[in-house]
Amino acid sequence: MQTGKGLLLKADPIAAVFRDEVKASLSRASRRPRLVGILATSSAPSKFYAEFTKKQCEDLGVEFILKKTGAADTGDLGEGEGVEEAIIEANEDENVDGIMVYYPIFGPQQDHYLQQVVSPYKDVEGLHFKFHYNLYHNIRFIEPQSLLSSSVPSAASAGVVESEDPPPGTAKSIIPCTPLAIVKCLEHVGVYNKILPYGDRAYGRTITVINRSEVVGRPLAALLANDGARVFSADIDSIQEYTKRPRVAGAADASARRYHPRHVVHPTAASLQECLALSDVVISAVPTAAYKVKTAWLKDGCVCVNVAADKNFESDVRDKASLYIPAVGKVTILMLLRNLLRLQQYKAVV
Amino acid sequence: MQTGKGLLLKADPIAAVFRDEVKASLSRASRRPRLVGILATSSAPSKFYAEFTKKQCEDLGVEFILKKTGAADTGDLGEGEGVEEAIIEANEDENVDGIMVYYPIFGPQQDHYLQQVVSPYKDVEGLHFKFHYNLYHNIRFIEPQSLLSSSVPSAASAGVVESEDPPPGTAKSIIPCTPLAIVKCLEHVGVYNKILPYGDRAYGRTITVINRSEVVGRPLAALLANDGARVFSADIDSIQEYTKRPRVAGAADASARRYHPRHVVHPTAASLQECLALSDVVISAVPTAAYKVKTAWLKDGCVCVNVAADKNFESDVRDKASLYIPAVGKVTILMLLRNLLRLQQYKAVV
């Protein structure tokens, strides 16, 4: 039995790898990209994040313009006032390469509306429906022109993953920043197994994701399951299992043993305690300070990742976890800048 | 002082007018339209509504096919399982003219995702982002081809309303069924003044809308304000004022007195009680049985419309209201069939 504490891994060394990659790409770019940040509320965390984005951009040589509107501006405007107009203006400005909006503003429903107003060609956060649709359908490579169309790609194009390199005429689809940052952290710490073929490198891992929002939890569960993991997606009122593998592993018919081109979702009768007992990895993103994953329920030697602003793990988490990543924000911002560079590629093709 | 009770107005006579209109349009149609209903949960109200749709369609001569999936189906599937696949199948089936999905399924966020999967050319409920965008921007007429594009129309095209008839090459945009049904009820009872020019017929009315969801409350507040009303939009945590008129009515400069091409939104310091005291019309759509609008707070002689399944008004509402409409569902279903016919027109143009 292991008696030592698990490793505390801050995101800095993971971020450093991507910082170098983004820097190298920027040095090859013909033009310094311009990112517009839109701050429309008086929320302190949003203001802090806006300043953080600005500093990161300046360090790396990306032009960052902060546009303040609504309660973030000086006038007597309300929370969020003018934000839609600011997005439309940035959409129509040819000199703007990327747009990020500091959410939450109005709450999930109205914010989801705003996320569709941002042009997919400038959507560095990857929150547009088109990108979510691709993610859920395991469509990894897209023809950038296809973003011009309101219709969704045929289901037949899902899950065709031959290699990590996009086929000619295509580029990688944009993936929402936060789920992508978490996947990159899991790659870094070896949860993804590079010996396995691309598109199936999380095979063999059981992962619990706590939170099923459209911004973090659901896309993350889908990404991990599309990469081969068995995922328990836990929300306040239900637990679901995301997997692309057949449920009856021992089926006699070979076709019944083939896995799906993308994840499928089933309800599960397992409790959170039962899911955690099976989980090699536990990721929690519950936006309330009161919520804590019980250390006693964790599997010995598991990997824990906290995504919430207020820590979702108890202070003794490393008594059980072999590895604990307390925050991923520093990786998230680099994923955003990576998306900005990818969107510039799209533009070159369209 | 009036001592008698206000009028109780059921939706039937309002629905009857539209039933005749839809019947006449169908008799002129070259082909019987086909509507697919997708039921993916075991929810009793959804099941009831599906049966209601079926009966209405059959009475009017619309072909209705109910597709059951997930927990609505016989197997051991979970709530909502297979619903996205069923939508995609109906999108791709050329013989399907309209798709309606019985929400709620997963909750507002994931349901909003599903609403974007439905092709806008088959979206009888009017829940696609493109239609919401047009509504919020007071874009009433569209070129049907524009729905093929993922980009949003220029803000410059907002609020150009010369007459009720679409200019050549355009058609009316689809409006979400429930807000549209409420507007039709208000037209029927004279809240809209036909003597005023089209696009401004609610001018002079003060209306409180209780609920600010993206499905009912916010689009309704926007529609009413775009039509000239002063609207208080009340939600659990804030009250906003929607209006297209300048806030300083007495401004010396004529241009400052001109109204906006579409509504603008401002926070207001008024309490719900203060808003109700000013309101000629009160519409409530709060999905909890416990919520009741206090009769004591209503303005004498106002018009009250309940949209919630559980009544949001107290039983003595007509002690104050001159007119009370307890339900609008029978009008809503006709708006849906009207949208189905409009979408057939789109197809003819594209």
Could you list the active site residues of B?
Answer: 177
A79 chain-B contacts, CB cut-off 8 A: 267
- Bridge partners (DSSP) of residue B171 are B142
Q: Residue B95 and residue B32: Cα distance in Å, rounded? A: 10
Classified as helix, coil or strand, A208 is strand
Long-range contacts of B275-281 (CB under 8 A, 24+ apart): B275/B208, B275/B232, B275/B234, B275/B239, B276/B208, B278/B206, B278/B232, B279/B206, B279/B207, B279/B208, B279/B232, B280/B191, B280/B205, B280/B206, B280/B207, B281/B186, B281/B191, B281/B205, B281/B206, B281/B207, B281/B208, B281/B305
Contact (CB<8Å) A129/B132: no
Contact (CB<8Å) A214/B91: no
Contact (CB<8Å) A150/B152: no
Residue B143 has pLDDT above 50, yes or no: yes
CA B265 to each of CA A81, A111, B268: distance values in angstroms, whole numbers, following the listed order: 7, 15, 9
Other CB atoms within a 10 A radius of the CB of residue B232 amount to 25
Q: Residue B333 and residue B55: Cα distance in Å, rounded? A: 11
For residue B252, the model assigns a pLDDT of: 64
Contact (CB<8Å) B116/A110: no
What residue in A sits closest to B147 (Cα-Cα)?
Answer: A150
B132 chain-A contacts, CB cut-off 8 A: 113
Other CB atoms within a 10 A radius of the CB of residue B251 amount to 12
Q: Tell me how close the Cα of B117 comes to any Cα of chain A, in angstroms.
A: 7
- Bridge partners (DSSP) of residue B101 are B38
Q: Residue B108 and residue A261: Cα distance in Å, rounded? A: 27
Q: Residue B225 and residue B203: Cα distance in Å, rounded? A: 8
A110 chain-B contacts, CB cut-off 8 A: 212, 214, 218
DSSP H stretches of helix in B29-66 = 44-60
For residue B345, the model assigns a pLDDT of: 84
Positions in chain A whose pLDDT score sits under 70: 1-3, 74-76, 154-162, 247-258, 350
CB distance B153 to B303 below 8 Å? no
CB distance A219 to A210 below 8 Å? no
What values do phi and psi take at A118, rounded to 5? Answer: -65, 130
B119 chain-A contacts, CB cut-off 8 A: 151
Among A310, A309, A313, residue whose Cα is nearest residue A282:
A313
Nearest to B117 among A152, A154, A213 (CB): A152
Residue by residue, what is the 3-state secondary structure of B81-92? Answer: CCHHHHHHHHHH
For residue B15, the model assigns a pLDDT of: 97
B153 chain-A contacts, CB cut-off 8 A: none
For residue A247, the model assigns a pLDDT of: 65
Q: Which of B146, B152, B239, B247 to mutate to probe the A interface, most A CBs <10 Å?
A: B152
For B314-340, what is each residue's pLDDT tens digit? 999 999 999 999 999 999 999 999 999
Residue B156 has pLDDT above 60, yes or no: no
Contact (CB<8Å) B240/A79: no
Classified as helix, coil or strand, B148 is helix
A78 chain-B contacts, CB cut-off 8 A: 240, 265-267
Contact (CB<8Å) A85/B155: yes
The sign of the torsion formed by the CA atoms of B157, B159, B160, B161 equals: positive
What residue in B sits closest to A70 (Cα-Cα)?
Answer: B266
- Bridge partners (DSSP) of residue B284 are B210, B306
Could you list the active site residues of A?
Answer: 177
DSSP E strands in chain A: the ranges are 7-8, 34-39, 63-68, 98-101, 141-142, 171-172, 206-210, 230-235, 238-243, 264-267, 281-284, 303-306, 323-325
Residue with tokens 């003819």: B348
Contact (CB<8Å) B152/A91: yes
For residue A1, the model assigns a pLDDT of: 43
Among A310, A336, A311, residue whose Cα is nearest residue A324:
A311
From the number of C-beta atoms within 10 Å of its C-beta (0-12, 13-18, 19+), residue A59 rates as exposed
For residue A169, the model assigns a pLDDT of: 85
Kind plus residue range of the DSSP H or E element containing A336: helix A329-349
Half-sphere exposure in the Cβ direction for B237 (13 Å, CA): 4
Half-sphere exposure in the Cβ direction for A187 (13 Å, CA): 21
A116 chain-B contacts, CB cut-off 8 A: 116, 129, 133
Nearest to A214 among B110, B136, B151 (CB): B110
Q: Which of A79, A89, A112 to mutate to probe the B interface, most B CBs <10 Å?
A: A112
Q: Domains in chain B and their CATH numbers?
A: 178-329 (3.40.50.720)
Q: Residue B297 and residue B236: Cα distance in Å, rounded? A: 17
Q: Please, which residues have CB within 8 angstroms of residue B318's CB and are 6 or more apart in sequence?
A: B5, B6, B7, B8, B324
Nearest to B132 among A113, A129, A154 (CB): A113
Cβ-Cβ pairs closer than 8 A, A with B, add up to 86
DSSP E strands in chain B: the ranges are 7-8, 34-39, 63-68, 98-101, 141-142, 171-172, 206-210, 230-234, 239-243, 264-267, 281-284, 303-306, 323-325
Question: How far from the centroid of its chain's Cα atoms is residue A61's Cα?
Answer: 24
Per DSSP, A121 falls in state G
Residue by residue, DSSP assigns A229-283 as: -EEEEEETTEEEEEESS-S-TT-SSHHHHSPPSS-EEEE----HHHHHHH-SEEE
For B82-122, what is each residue's pLDDT tens digit? 999 999 999 999 999 999 999 999 999 999 999 999 999 99
CB distance B307 to B216 below 8 Å? yes
For residue A50, the model assigns a pLDDT of: 96
For residue B1, the model assigns a pLDDT of: 43
A91 chain-B contacts, CB cut-off 8 A: 151-152
Among A216, A185, A172, residue whose Cα is nearest residue A338:
A172
For residue B78, the model assigns a pLDDT of: 82
Q: Which of A69, A79, A81, A116 to mutate to probe the B interface, most B CBs <10 Å?
A: A116
The sign of the torsion formed by the CA atoms of A262, A265, A269, A273 equals: positive
Q: Tell me how close the Cα of A147 comes to any Cα of chain B, in angstroms.
A: 7
What residue in A sits closest to B122 (Cα-Cα)?
Answer: A151
From the number of C-beta atoms within 10 Å of its C-beta (0-12, 13-18, 19+), residue A201 rates as buried
Nearest to B213 among A109, A147, A150 (CB): A109
Q: Please, which residues have CB within 8 angstroms of residue B291's CB and are 6 or more apart in sequence?
A: B284, B308, B312
What values do phi and psi take at B208, rounded to 5? Answer: -105, 130
- For residue B258, give both structure tokens: 């001109």
> ipTM score of the complex?
0.84
Percentage of chain B lying above the pLDDT 70 cut: 92
For residue B109, the model assigns a pLDDT of: 92
Q: Please, which residues have CB within 8 angstroms of residue A290's CB and are 6 or more apart in sequence?
A: none
Q: Please, which residues have CB within 8 angstroms of residue A248's CB and are 6 or more apart in sequence?
A: A256
Half-sphere exposure in the Cβ direction for B187 (13 Å, CA): 21
Amino acid identity for residue A52 in this structure: F
Q: Residue B250 and residue A275: Cα distance in Å, rounded? A: 65
Cis preceding linkage at B267, omega within 30: no
CB distance B113 to A129 below 8 Å? yes
Most distant CA pair in chain B, distance: 70
**Among A298-302, B150-154, B263-267, the least confident range:** B150-154
Among A291, A236, A235, residue whose Cα is nearest residue A265:
A235
Half-sphere exposure in the Cβ direction for A57 (13 Å, CA): 23
Interface residues from chain A to B (CB-CB < 8 Å) = 77-79, 81, 84-85, 88, 91-92, 108-110, 112-113, 116-117, 119-120, 129-130, 132-133, 136, 147-152, 154-155, 212-214, 218, 240, 265-267
For residue B332, the model assigns a pLDDT of: 97
Contact (CB<8Å) B88/A148: no
